[in-house]
Amino acid sequence: MDSRKLALLTDFYELTMNQIFYENQDHNQRVVFDMFYRKNPFNGGYAVFAGLQQLIEYIKNLNFSPEDIEYLRNLNVFDDKFLNYLKDFKFTGTIYAVPEGTVVFPKEPLIRIEAPIIQAQIIESAILNIINHQTLIATKAARVKWAAKNDTVLEFGLRRAQGPDASVYGARAAIIGGCDGTSNVLAGKKFNIPVKGTHAHSMVMFYEDELTAFRRFAKKYPDSCLLLVDTYNTLKSGVPNAIKVFKEMRDANIKPRLYGIRLDSGDLAYLSKEARKMLDDAGFKDAVISASSDLDEYLIQELKIQGAKISVWGVGTKQITAKDDPALGGVYKLVQIQNGEKGIPKIKLSNNPEKITNPGKKKVYRIYDKKTNKIISDFITLDNEHLDENSTLTLYDETHRWKVKTLKSGTYKLKELLVPIFINGECVYKTPPVMEIRNHCQRELNTLWEEYKRLTNPEVMHVCLSDNLYNLKEKLIYESMNSK
């Protein structure tokens, strides 16, 4: 796990604000913040929530070291009283979140933080950093896996990731989203996820000829022998030499668990179809054809439409960097100030209606059709509201209230999405193994109709507000407008 001290992984203004809270004796005032995002990444129909494990480790190890305090002191901005407070800093708040691998939608709380204002502010930047990145990569991986259908997808992004942390935690997120393995050995060790790979062009170039290189590889790894065939000439040299090696293995009665070729350049549709014919004609119909070469979900989908004979996809740069949409854009907003058992709901207004926040302490229900187990809608309520599957439920579109859907009792199922992670500073949640989270993600994706998963122009899931939450929001907007 990540035991690094990351207390200073925060924006400077978090500390300057917190000094004001401390000086004015406001630092123990409990507040509620929501973390959510406003728009699905990649113009898609959903996102896959990821990053909770690293967030838990961050909170567990959150304290300011003597070196941190000395650094802050030397900035000549913070006084001794505030720095002495930070010396004994410990998170004592409560955090609820959706489990990793859960399919989520815009504007619904993914994480709810209840804590003294200083604690809630200090963790803001790190929460956004961790969740924004890993949710983005998990979502990209889910899209790639959807395009590949039942084929194997491998995460090959280590050398193109934006730094070691992005590669390691990006690999983890990619596995959650649906990848079957990673080339990243450190990620494999850290998270107990499958590591996969073949060999590089340099190994072929190192030996006197391609056939010698292939023979050396097959001798050392006879049970899993995937040969990279495009170093010199894919169809005239690479594939024929691979076939020679496979024949030698067959003659020696070697029966590999997995064998085949990898393509890393050229027209993958044409080359894979030609290579398939050559392999089949030689009697190797069960030989695998894998491919890499700057793949993403769009190219994989196009190659499958063109009849490419590829069943293993190594996806690197465009997945690990989320090249076509490099930021999730998650936000962290104050929604309530606690006043004893009661709360004072807060709202952020904007000239852009999409940026107006939903006030108050809330929870999120997921509504499923009872017959199909597909998602009908997500439903955000105030925390003191309770839904009953045995009652009729009316759903209103938040923006267009005339769009109404009524669900009769007994026709739908409910599930609360937010689960306790920390209660009064103590972690009460045990993170499942990554491969279990991956399985959970696949089950979650199966609750979406295909219309929501398509790569372009997907359907958009309705996230509805309860009447009480909607009326509270309207009331606060009205009061704010009339108090100017």
The pLDDT of residue 252? 97
pLDDT exceeds 70 at position 2: no
What pLDDT digit, counting tens, does each position of 130-177 carry? Answer: 999 999 999 999 999 999 999 999 999 999 999 999 999 999 999 999
The pLDDT of residue 397? 80
Under the banding of pLDDT at 50, 70 and 90, the label for residue 400 is confident
Over residues 231-243, the mean pLDDT reads: 98
What pLDDT digit, counting tens, does each position of 242-273 carry? Answer: 999 999 999 999 999 999 999 999 999 999 99
Domains of the chain by range and CATH?
Answer: 12-137+326-481 (3.20.140.10), 198-288 (3.20.20.70)
The pLDDT of residue 99? 98
What pLDDT digit, counting tens, does each position of 45-92 carry? Answer: 999 999 999 999 999 999 999 999 999 999 999 999 999 999 999 999
Over residues 385-403, the mean pLDDT reads: 88
The pLDDT of residue 402? 80
Over residues 468-481, the mean pLDDT reads: 93
| Amino acid residing at 392 | T
The pLDDT of residue 5? 84
**Summary mean pLDDT of the chain:** 96
Contacts of 471 (CB under 8 A, 6+ apart): none
Closest CA to 56 of 164, 108, 139, 130: 130
What pLDDT digit, counting tens, does each position of 359-381 carry? Answer: 999 999 999 999 999 999 999 99
pLDDT exceeds 80 at position 484: no
Displacement of CA 475 from its chain's centroid (Å): 35
pLDDT exceeds 70 at position 3: no
The pLDDT of residue 476? 95
Contacts of 408 (CB under 8 A, 6+ apart): 392
The pLDDT of residue 350? 87
Closest CA to 39 of 328, 418, 454: 328
The pLDDT of residue 398? 77
What pLDDT digit, counting tens, does each position of 198-223 carry? Answer: 999 999 999 999 999 999 999 999 99
Q: At 483, list the tokens.
A: 């108090």
The pLDDT of residue 195? 97
pLDDT exceeds 70 at position 356: yes
What pLDDT digit, counting tens, does each position of 83-137 carry? Answer: 999 999 999 999 999 999 999 999 999 999 999 999 999 999 999 999 999 999 9
pLDDT exceeds 80 at position 483: no
Q: SS in 3 state form for the chain?
A: CCCCCCCCCCCHHHHHHHHHHHHCCCCCCEEEEEEECCCCHHHCCCEECCCHHHHHHHHHCCCCCHHHHHHHHHCCCCCHHHHHHHHCCCCCCEEEECCCCCEECCCCCCEEEEEEHHHHHHCHHHHHHHHHHHHHHHHHHHHHHHHHCCCEEEECCHHHCCCHHHHHHHHHHHHHHCCCEECCHHHHHHHCCCECCCCCHHHHHHCCCHHHHHHHHHHHCCCEEEEECCCCCHHHHHHHHHHHHHHHHHHCCCCCCEEEEEECCCCHHHHHHHHHHHHHHCCCCCCEEEECCCCCHHHHHHHHHCCCCCCEEEECHHHHCCCCCCCCCCEEEEEEEEECCEEEECCCCCCCHHHCCCCCCEEEEEEEECCCCCEEEEEEEECCCCCCCCCCEEEECCCCCCCEEEECCCCEEEEECCEEEEECCEECCCCCCHHHHHHHHHHHHCCCCHHHHCCCCCCCCCEEECHHHHHHHHHHHHHHHCCC
Q: What percent of the chain has pLDDT over 90?
A: 93
The pLDDT of residue 1? 52
